[in-house]
Amino acid sequence: MIQTNVQTIEDAFSTLGREERVRVITHGAAFRLSDLRNRLILAQSKIEHFQAKYQKSLEDIERDGLPDDADYEMHEDYIFWHHWSEAAQKAGHEIERLEQIAQFGLHLEN
């Protein structure tokens, strides 16, 4: 094993040649995109489950409030619904940013 004075991952990354950096970024972005797309699909399926169960969108509930007769389960679902909605938005935004990076890396390799 070669000992170096590398102190950060950025330092280690900068020691790679340009072509290798492009490969690492492109392949890393592809793996991360796959993970994020799976997360987005899961989040969307959870959101669809709650929409079907309550025959409303989260936006409708936000606007109208929970019904006066909402039970414990609905309150709990409402919290999870928020979680999955935020998870879907976050995954979607991260996918958009990483797709730009992945495309940039692909263009550099050509």
Give the pLDDT of residue 101: 82
Look at residue 2 and tell me if it is in a domain: no
Give the pLDDT of residue 92: 97
Q: What is the CA radius of gyration of the chain?
A: 21
Q: What are phi and psi of 71, to 5 degrees?
A: -90, 180
Look at residue 22 and tell me if it is in a domain: yes
Look at residue 16 and tell me if it is in a domain: yes
Look at residue 1 and tell me if it is in a domain: no
Write out the residue range of the structural domain in which residue 75 sits: 9-109
Look at residue 98 and tell me if it is in a domain: yes
* pLDDT tens by residue, the chain, 110 residues: 455 565 898 889 999 999 898 888 888 998 999 999 999 999 999 999 999 999 999 999 999 999 999 999 999 999 999 999 999 999 999 999 998 887 765 554 44
Reported pTM: 0.78
3-state secondary structure of 46: helix
Q: How many domains does the chain divide into?
A: 1
Look at residue 4 and tell me if it is in a domain: no
Look at residue 55 and tell me if it is in a domain: yes
Q: Which two tokens stand for residue 86?
A: 């935020």
